[in-house]
Amino acid sequence: MTGPKLNEGATIVGERSGTKATAKYVRSSARKARVVLDLIRGLDVRRADEVLQFTDRGIARDIRKVLASAVANAANNDGQDPDELYVIACFADEGPTLKRFRPRARGRASRIRKRTCHITVIVARMSDERLAVVQARQAGGAAGRPSSSAASRQARVERSRQRAQAAKEGVDAIEADETVQDADDLAAEADATAEVDEAVETDEAADTDVEAETAEVGDDTAGDAPYPGSALPQADGSAPEGFTIKGNADSMLYHEPGSRYYDITQAEVYFDSADSAEAAGFGKPGGSTAASSETSDDAAAGDDEETK
């Protein structure tokens, strides 16, 4: 038997650690069922159902039915929210063995053992801390990572349109400023017609410097930052001062200086720290946020138990 039986050891009548469902006399060995049960122990019910749906084992279909029954019991009998449940325990006990015989040579017979097992799945409500992490992960995945290629293309087009609109507004503002400046220059020249030629040349040089500074400011303008603690690339594609972490909006990954893909990554946004990137829904290549790390550790623990 693998995994704790949390329904045993109760000292008070009616005491229990969660809501359970049991399937008895399943025509499979308990050893085969435990291999699949190790995959879902500790996962939230939504992810556990996904794991069972794509597990290439015949017993996974029966375990998935038991999991659905446990969730239904928790929702109907205990008033629990199915989205807040997780698999707190699951185990398989050996059932009665059906004995059959196969005829063999020289009048002998060999025994056939048809194993059965009893599968039990217990679900309980997640803690408030873990529930907050799971909800943040689901919200971040829905907002930052579109579920289909069409939605991904639509999101990229929308981001491109926003950047183009921001750049256009910046150019229009600069042109308006230049028009006002030109009008002021013409008025100044009309008022200074009586002055000497040297004064006129000095004023023209000053006007040229003002226009150059205005053009530089316009080149650096790239729109408002899309996330807190972030900045858009400058006109030449370089990083703004103080923002060194590259973020790619297509893959929703961020790259720190010195990392493997930092030099070859086309940055669509820059962050000042890794915390700001993760708060915006970006992940680190080869890793994940705290929410997915917890579930990855649970899956790794399940793999170790399977190996043992």
Alpha carbon distance 209, 29 (integer Å): 86
Kindly tell me if the per-residue pLDDT of 212 is higher than 80: no
Q: Tell me how many degrees the CA angle 244-245-249 measures, rounded to the nearest 5.
A: 135
Q: Report how far residue 188's alpha carbon sits from residue 37's, in angstroms, rounded to the nearest whole number.
A: 85
47 confidence band (pLDDT: 50, 70, 90):
very high
Please tell me what DSSP assigns to residue 105.
Answer: G
117-172 per-position pLDDT tens digit: 999 999 999 988 888 888 888 776 655 454 556 777 888 888 888 888 888 888 88
- CA-CA distance, 41 to 219, in Å (whole number)? 56
Look at 39 and 154; give whichever has higher pLDDT. 39
- The amino acid sitting at 65 is K
Tell me the angle at which helices 30-40 and 290-307 cross, rounded to the nearest 10 degrees. Answer: 160
Rounded Cα gap, residues 230 and 246, in angstroms: 10
Question: pLDDT tens digit string along 85-125?
Answer: 999 999 999 999 999 999 999 999 999 999 999 999 999 99
**Quick check: is 121 in a domain?**
yes
Cα distances (Å, whole numbers) of residue 119 to 80, 220, 258, 306: 22, 65, 50, 17
Nearest to 21 by CA among 123, 95, 115, 116: 123
Whether residue 300 is contained in a domain is answered as no
- Please give the full DSSP string across 251-306, using - where no structure is assigned: TTEEE-TTSTTTTT---SEEESSHHHHHHTT-B-TT---HHHHHHHHHHHHHHHHH
Domain count, the chain: 2
Residue 247 pLDDT exceeds 60: yes
Amino acid at 280: A
- Based on the domain organization, do 262 and 209 belong to the same domain? yes
Residue 189 falls inside a structural domain: yes
Strand partners, 120: 22, 91
- Does the pLDDT at position 1 exceed 90? no
If we measure between CA atoms, which residue out of 43, 95, 96 comes closest to residue 71? 43
| Residue 29 domain flag | yes
Question: Which residue from 299, 276, 306, 308 is spatially nearest to 51, judged by alpha carbons?
Answer: 299
Please check whether residue 49 lies inside any domain of the structure: yes
For 217-226, what is each residue's pLDDT tens digit? 444 444 466 7
Q: What is the per-residue pLDDT for 116? A: 97
What residues make up the domain containing 91? Answer: 19-126
Tokens of 266: 């086309």
Are residues 267 and 168 part of one domain?
A: yes
The reported pLDDT for the residue numbered 30 is 95
Residue 85 lies in a domain: yes
Task: Report the pLDDT value the prediction gives residue 145, as an integer from 0 to 100.
Answer: 54
Query: Does some domain include residue 84?
Result: yes
At residue 234, the pLDDT reads 76
